[in-house]
Chain A
Amino acid sequence: MTTDTATPPAATPPGAGQTAGAASSKSKRKRVPYLLLLPGGIWLIMFYVIPMIQLAGVSLQEGSFQTGYRFTWAWGNYSAAFTAFGGHFIRSILYAGTATLLALLIGYPLAYAIAFRGGRYRNLLLILVLMPFLTPFLLRTLAWKVILADSGWVVGVLQSIGIIAENGRLLATGWAGVAGITYNFLAFMTLPIYVSLEKIDPSLIEAAQDLYSNSRTAFRKVTLPLSRPGIVAGTLLTLIPASGDFVNAQLLGNPQQLMIGNVIDSRFLRIVDYPTAAALSFTLMVAILLIVIPYVRAVGTEDLVA
């Protein structure tokens, strides 16, 4: 792939032609990467590995809050949870997938425009992308209730051009939920793509044009492949949290179209049924990994890992 041309070769071949006196500095150098990994590693162990083990433990418990939970290898929690809420799982993944696609369709051109046409306004435009994040998530979502209100102009326009029925509505539908997710995660899509695009050496595109490719081919053969890491990161950053989201479905959706995040929230907080909540969370995580790992392998690996 062309990408490799942008990567300079490793600075110094390690240890080549060095005397025995350099041995200690060599071992020190070996240790440095591990030391650098330490903060992140500790963070991961504290906030990911340990909770994960606890979560797995809770998901196999039986009992109630008042009488206490006992660990009994209650695998039945998983089958019961999946039987009862399989539909919610499928809906979550469909909604998150649709929202990710929409965010990509909106975010890529946006990032492209900022990276290549932004000029001196680039930073300003980036700030504008981030600006909504200065408002709390909940308020941003509630603002959509105003925008999509039954008597608001958006619904009015869509009604007058016949896209939604005369007495139809946008709020309290699955679409409003998907739109909310798309909006709330758009920056997570846009920024990684922007980072990828912004790093592309314009001379590569010029070179493509010198080799008689028109601008469309240059985009397809140079820009798009070079921005692929950004697309991969962006889709993951959107798809994954979106699958577990419950705020958008709660505020913009309706009781027939809630997502798995709502069920986890309900089991955990309202019914105080921690084992089922844990089993659902674990299942969701596994489901997402089952989607993400093949995706990363198929799309992302060849010049990402090599």
Chain B
Amino acid sequence: MDAVAALAARSGMDRREFLKRLGLTGALLTGGPALLAACGVDTAETTTTAAAVGSTTTSAAPMSTELNFANWPFYIDVLEDGWFDTTSLDDFMEATGISVNYFEEINDNDEFFGKYQAPLSQGQNIGRDIAVLTDWMAARFIRLGWTEELNYDNIPNAVNLVEALKSPGFDSTRKYTLPWQSGLTALGYDPNATGRELTSINDIFDPAFAGKVTMLTEMRDTMGLVMLGMDIDPATATVDDAKAATDKMQKAVDDGQIRAFTGNEYTADLASGDAWVSFAWSGDVIQLQADNPDLKFVVPEEGAMLWSDNMLIPKGAENKQNAEIYMNDVYDPRVAAKIESWVNFICPVKGAQQAMRDLGAEIEDEELVALADDPLIFPSDADLAKTHIIKDLNEDEETEWNTLFQAVLGA
């Protein structure tokens, strides 16, 4: 707008015309979502130019020393607030000579899909060698054929993958994906505000907390928990079950029980006291507890949802082998422990718990040693037995469930 003011000021005589035109340009800009939608249908010209650019870069650099890694924000260890003098990425680059371009660009599975669906569906590479996507989105990528098969010769450490995650429904032999982190979705709450301990998912519907309750916009997490509270098994739920769950939520919205459906920003609401009870992700609450030790994350008696974010190699990735070398590095328990010490979700790598104790002992930090015994980072088998994984929805079910759920969200 400063430029607009300057331009308008300079153009003296035509200023009024200019301003009016400007207003009309505004009208064109409303087409923002429209433009996005239109991007879905791409033209053949862009395909050829992009392909041409791609081929020149590959021919110029036959021995690739790069790795383009797309991940979520705050999802890898950094020096700030960390325990160590180097990050796991520094160590990796030092040891292998591969330079990692790390993109904190995934804020939302759906947005990532919307951003890259056009090139991927035309067989173009998207300039990313690893992307970290949640189970269901990884499943969609596999279904659409947008993933490269992993060459396990380059990933011997993959044997360290924990048993529980070895054969998910969408990728039963882990042909295309390896978990980056797992996590629990359950109840986060502030006992000072609620005035009592919460033990059941259905406590979120207690009228005493009206208007102080948030749920997640992530459909599978929220639907799964609400279903567990209704004694429906999310692993086998039908569309009718989904309808029953959304009816229950709709009533809570109409009654003013649910204040908002949020992404990560529920953490701010819990911290400020605007929310007393939230459907929450385990790692977030551990990080919040640093500022407010009273906040609690509880796995309710009905159980919790277990999910994973998975590393996968998007189709046509230029540095596939480097991606596999990196995955191998991450499945080294010591590296996994280092990442985990900062990220605080659930580690999918066997031996990382012991490695974290060892690392803690080496740097003589008792807190780090103690962190290795946090049941939210390294849950016991008994805890894991209480977790549920939501059913692998096919495309029709996904559309139906999403439509029901989005209606509750008000859109």
Contact = CB atoms under 8 A, between A and B. Distances in A.
A158 interface: no
A277 to B, nearest CB: 5
Given A172-B211, A244-B30, A270-B219, A54 B20 contact: no
Contacts of A264: 33
Interface stretch (B73-81, B255-263, B294-302, B353-361): B255-263
B37 A268 contact: yes
Contact of B40 (A58, A169, A267, A300): A58
B31 A48 contact: yes
Given A229-B15, A262-B410, A289 B27 contact: yes
Interface in A77-131: 88, 126, 130
Given A48-B31, A256-B253, A265-B411, A296 B260 contact: no
Interface in B1-58: 1-2, 4-5, 8-9, 12-13, 15-17, 19-20, 22-24, 26-41
A183 to B, nearest CB: 14
Nearest to A130: B2
A288 to B, nearest CB: 6
Given A192-B22, A195-B15, A198-B9, A292 B34 contact: no
Given A300-B20, A304-B20, A278 B37 contact: yes
User: Main SS of the interface on chain A?
Assistant: helix
A232 B23 contact: yes
B38 A237 contact: no
Contacts of B160: none
Q: How large is the interface on B (under 10, 10 to 19, 20 to 34, 35 or more residues)?
A: 35 or more
A156 interface: no
B30, B113, B408: most-surrounded residue (chain A CB, <10 A):
B30
Contact of B19 (A51, A229, A269): A229
B274 A150 contact: yes
Given A233-B23, A237-B23, A304-B16, A130 B211 contact: no
A6 B8 CA distance: 16
Given A130-B2, A274-B40, A304-B16, A268 B30 contact: no
A51 B31 contact: yes
A243 interface: yes
Interface stretch (A24-32, A141-149, A207-215, A216-224): A141-149
Interface stretch (B336-344, B380-388, B398-406): B398-406
15 contacts: A54-B38, A65-B117, A142-B265, A146-B268, A172-B260, A172-B274, A236-B27, A237-B26, A240-B26, A257-B410, A265-B33, A270-B110, A280-B33, A296-B20, A305-B17
Interface of A: 7-8, 44, 47-48, 50-52, 54-55, 57-58, 64-66, 88, 126, 130, 133, 142, 145-146, 149-151, 169, 171-172, 187-188, 191-192, 194-196, 198-199, 229-230, 232-233, 235-237, 240-241, 243-244, 251, 254-258, 261-274, 277-278, 280-282, 284-285, 288-289, 292, 296, 300, 303-305
